[in-house]
Amino acid sequence: MFFVNGLMLGSWAARVPAFVERFDLGPALLGQLLLCLAGGAILSFPLAGRLSDAIGAARATRWLALYHVLTLPLLTLAPSPLWLAGALVLFGAGHGAMDVAMNGWGAEVERALRRPAMSAFHAMWSLGAGTGALLGVVAVRAGLAPGGHFLAVALVFGALGLALARIGWESRRGGAAGPGFALPSGALILAGLAAFCASIGEGAMADWSAVFLIDVARTSEAQAALGYGVYSVAMFTARLSAHHAIARLGAVTTARLAGLLAFAGLCVALLGQTLTAGLVGFALLGLGYSVVMPLAFSRAANDPETPQGRAIAGVATLGYGGMVAGPALIGGIAHLAGLTTAFWLIALLALGITALAGALKPAT
C-alpha cells in the first residue's frame, strides 16, 4: 500500500511539465492548481483518521487505495484548468486519506514486531514514487500521452497492490468519537512542525523538481524527469537502513543530522545550477528527508493521550499538509521572486528540522 501511494504521486510528478504545456500554465496558476490538491488532502485527514479508528486502519487503507488509484487517470480527462482543479481536489483527497490510514496500519505492524519498522514502510513509498517518476521518463521518451500512461499505471499497479493487501490483519478499533477536525496538541504540535519542515520540501520535489531543472538548470523534459527519480531512490535507500541509525544514534540526533544533510543538498542544487548539481543535490535532499516523516508518524501513533487515527491525522495536518501545500507556496513565491528564491526558503526550513528534532523523541 505504501508503494502504491507513492507510485500515484510519482506518476503525477513526472508529468507535471506535460500539464504545464497543455494548459500553458505559469508559476502562479500552477501553484493555485496545486493548492487544490493540497486542499483535498487536508480536508481528508480528519475524516480518514475517524474512519481508521472506526473500521480499522487496514480495512480503511484498502478502500481508500481503490479510490485513490481511480483518481489518477481522472486527471487526464480535464478539458480546462478549472476541471483540472476539481480533479486535483479528488486526487489529493485520495492521496491524503490513504496516507493517514496506511500509516496507522504501519504503526500497528511496528508494535507487533516490537522494533522500528516505519522507515522501511516509508522506503516502499519512496520506491513507489521513484518508480512512478522513472516510468514517467519512459513514457515521455516513448511519446506516450499522460492519459495512456496514467491508465496503465492505475490498472496494473493498482490491481497488484490491492491483491497483495488482502491479508489477514485485525486492526484495533475505537476512539472514533470526538471533533471532526483537530490540530495536534502538546508535544505533537512540535512533532507536526518538524514534519512540516520536511514535507514542504518533499512536496516541492514532487511538483517542482522537474520544473526547477528545466528553468534553472536548462535541461530537457526527459532529463528533468530524472530529478524526482534520483531523489526518491536516495530516500528509499536511506529508509531501508534508517532503523540502524535510529537504534545507534537515537531519534533526536538522527533527525538533527537529517536536517543538516537536507540543507546541504539544497545548497548544492541552488549554487551549481546544472543537471549534475541538481541530481547530486536532490540525492542529498532525499537522504536528509528520509527519516523525518517516519519518526513523526511513529511518535504520533504511540501517543498515550490521543487515539491512533486522530493522532496521526493531527500530525499529518501540520506535517503531510506541508507536502501538498508546499508546492502551492513555492508557486506563489516563484511568481513574485523567482523559483530560486522559493527553493532557498525550503533550505531554511530544512534547518528547522534540526531545531525541532527534540519533539521526535519517542513517547514514554
Q: Is residue 322 scored above 80 in pLDDT?
A: no
Mean pLDDT taken over the chain: 87
Pick the CATH number of 2-167+182-360 from 1.20.1250.20, 3.90.550.10, 3.30.230.10, 1.10.730.10: 1.20.1250.20
Percent of the chain topping pLDDT 90: 37
| C-alpha cell at position 226 | 530524472
Per DSSP, the three-state class of 179 is coil
Give the pLDDT score at 117.
84
Q: Is residue 91 scored above 90 in pLDDT?
A: yes
* Type of residue at 284: L
Span 277-297, mean pLDDT? 92
pLDDT (tens digit per residue) in 161-172: 889 988 888 766
Q: Is residue 348 scored above 90 in pLDDT?
A: yes
Give the pLDDT score at 309.
77
- Banded pLDDT at 284 (limits 50, 70, 90): very high
Which pTM was predicted? 0.78
Q: Is residue 77 scored above 90 in pLDDT?
A: yes
Give the pLDDT score at 75.
94
Buried b / exposed e across 324-353, counting CB within 10 Å, b at 16+?
bbbbbbbbbbbbeeebeebbbbbbebbebb
Q: Which residues lie below 8 Å from residue 142, measured CB to CB, with a gap of 6+?
A: none
Of 289, 278, 213, the residue nearest 14 (C-alpha): 213
Give the pLDDT score at 177.
47
Give the pLDDT score at 183.
65
Helical axes 57-74 vs 81-113, angle rounded to 10° = 150
Sign of torsion, CA 92 93 98 103? positive
Span 296-305, mean pLDDT? 80
pLDDT (tens digit per residue) in 200-249: 888 888 778 888 898 888 888 778 878 888 887 898 899 988 888 888 89
Helices (H) and strands (E) in the chain, counts: 14, 0
CA of 346: how far to CAs of 195, 202, 203, 302, 306, in Å?
13, 10, 10, 29, 31
Highest mean pLDDT pick, 167-176, 223-232, 278-287, 322-331: 278-287
- Banded pLDDT at 175 (limits 50, 70, 90): low
DSSP 289-351: HTTHHHHHHHHHHT-SSS-HHHHHHHHHHHHHHHHHHHHHHHHHHHHHH-HHHHHHHHHHHHH
Which of the residue ranges 83-92, 99-108, 180-189 would you say has the lowest mean pLDDT?
A: 180-189
- What whole-number distance in Å separates Cα of residue 337 and Cα of residue 53? 44
Give the pLDDT score at 344.
93
